[in-house]
Structure 1
Amino acid sequence: MFNLIAIKDTVPVAPKTFGLSAGTTIHDALNKKFANKLIQERGLALSVYDILTAEDGRVTWGNGQMYYKVSFRLLMFAPFVGEVIVGKVLSTTPAYIRVSLGFFNDIYILRSLLPPNCAYDDHENRFFWYPGDDGPPLDEAGLQNTLKAERFYYDSGEPIRFRVDSIEWHESEPGPPTAPKPVDPNAPEDKQPADEDNDPYDKAGYRIMAAVSEQGLGLMSWWGEGGEEEGEEMEE
């Protein structure tokens, strides 16, 4: 899920920081430039891991900034296809379940990547899985007629284990403006027309498509597990 990549770059340092050590100012300038940025086909840069080399700084005419040629390593978030990860259910729409890792939210479980006997409950605004029996999967009408007490819902905030199914990169380009949809003042907030322009799925430049259709995947509570794995400290 995490790896290091080596990069060479020239980084400017502002004159107001000349009183600090060069190592500190270079590190801060690199983090400002790369941290929390997407690097095409590589992943999400989290922070500078270390600086390998740095040449003597040179001041150029015009702005007084000091420029350093440096080589360094970036800590990247770059999961691989097939990797199993634990996150938390962030939100749900009729098209997908969105999962968060805390620092990265563009993980999507589409309907096609849910296990058999899954359906969307329009009243609960969330997906559910119906374990049923060993017979053939139910159709949509059959699932909607099942007892709620026998359904397993994908609840927001719950730890979920998923497998990376694919990774997608997209160039986001602004489109023509669209007229806002009419709002019904008497309808509840969750029944108002969706703002398609703000759909995070369409706006994400880096998307991870996740699957929970295999044994052991899905909400960890379904398998008698808690959320201790997430965020617990590692002991040597």
Structure 2
Amino acid sequence: MFQKVTLDHKVFIKPRLFSKNDYNAIVTALSEIYGNKVVPELGLCVSIDRLLKVGDRIVPQSGDGSYEVAVTFSAYFFCPFIGEIIEGNISGMTSESVKVSLGFFDDISVPKSLLPGNTVFDEVEQVFVWNVDEDIQFRIETGLKVWIRVKEIKFKSAATSDDSTEPVMSIRASMDESGLGAPSWWLEGEDQAEAEEDDVEDGEEESDE
């Protein structure tokens, strides 16, 4: 789900960072550039790991005291592989799809076609219901903890206008296989009831945070 990547970058160190030592000043500047940002084909940068190489300072004729330095560094990116199973919580839904959040990344959707078979949308309660058989139904509701399989990762095209509502990075996932969806679906009896309660409570706690 996370990968360590090595990158090169020319970073400007502003006077406001001069109170830090060189290493920390550069890491801070890199974090401001990459932290919680999506880099196409790499994913969402979650942290700067460490500096691997630092070049000589170059002082431009800006007059403000800033300097430029070329660095090689490693950073961790969130970008799950196709087919990977990840855990998240349902954050919302429409009649066409379910939205899933990981807490630090929200642009994950499970289209209706990739929900379990015999799943229908309840227009009154605005939730999906999986009709396992005549006697067993499971509600797919906001806050529910679920396991999903990554089917597609899409990065916003550079040709797309800046004012587009399309997310820079989005994931399409599925819940239509045995073992996917809420963990409580695959338990029985009292264990199932307890797990269903825990699934929703866990999701509500994470949403509050």
> TM range, normalised to the smaller chain?
0.7 to 0.9
| 1:157 match | 143
Note if contact 2:88-2:146 (Cα within 8 Å) is conserved in structure 1: yes
Of 159-168 and 219-228, the range deviating more from structure 2: 219-228
Cα shift at 1:150: 4.0
User: Rg: which structure is higher?
Assistant: 1
Which residue of structure 2 aligns with residue 205 of structure 1? 168
Q: Could you tell me which residue of structure 2 aligns to residue 98 of structure 1?
A: 99
Cα shift at 1:170 = 2.5
Q: Count matched residues.
A: 190
Give distance in 2, aligned partners of 1:229 and 1:68: 45
Aligned twin of 1:116: 117
1:120-177 deviation per Cα after TM superposition (whole angstroms, max 9, x unaligned): 11011011100016xxxxxxxxxxxxxxx842111211110011111112234267xx
CA-to-aligned-CA distance 1:167-213 (integer Å, 9 cap, x gap)? 112234267xxxxxxxxxxxxxxxxxxxxx9xxxx522211111010
Structure 1, unaligned runs of 5 or more: 134-148, 176-196, 231-236
State which of 207, 214, 217 in structure 1 corresponds to 2:180: 217
Q: Deviations over 1:80-129 (max 9, x none)?
A: 11001110000011111000000000110001111110111101101110
Identity of aligned residues (%): 32
Alignment of 1:61-140 (within 5 A): 61-62=61-62, 63-132=64-133
Alignment partner of 1:22 is 2:22: yes
TM-score (normalised: structure 2): 0.84
CA distance in 2, matches of 1:22, 1:74: 18
Aligned to 2:48: 48
Report the AA paired with residue 117 of structure 1: N
Check the 8 A contact 2:146/2:183 in 1, yes or no. Answer: yes
Partner-residue secondary structure (3-state), 1:218: coil
SS in 2 for 1:31: helix
CA contact (8 A) 2:82 2:152 kept: yes
Contact 2:145 2:202 in 1 (8 A): no
After superposition, the CA RMSD in angstroms is: 2.2
In 1, Cα distance between equivalents of 2:162 and 2:21 = 42
Distance in 2 (alpha carbons) for counterparts of 1:118 and 1:205: 30
Aligned equivalents of 2:82, 2:16: Cα separation in 1: 45
Cα separation, 1, equivalents of 2:171 and 2:162: 22
Deviation at 1:59, TM superposition (A): 1.4
Give the alignment's TM-score, normalised by structure 1.
Answer: 0.75
CA distance in 2, matches of 1:90, 1:19: 42
- 2:45–2:77: 8 Å Cα contact kept in structure 1? yes
2-side partners of 1:87 and 1:38: how far apart? 19
SS at match of 1:161: strand
C-alpha displacement of 1:229: 10
What is the rounded CA distance, in whole Å, between the counterparts of 2:136 and 2:177 in structure 1?
20
User: Contact 2:88 / 2:102 at 8 angstroms: preserved in 1?
Assistant: yes
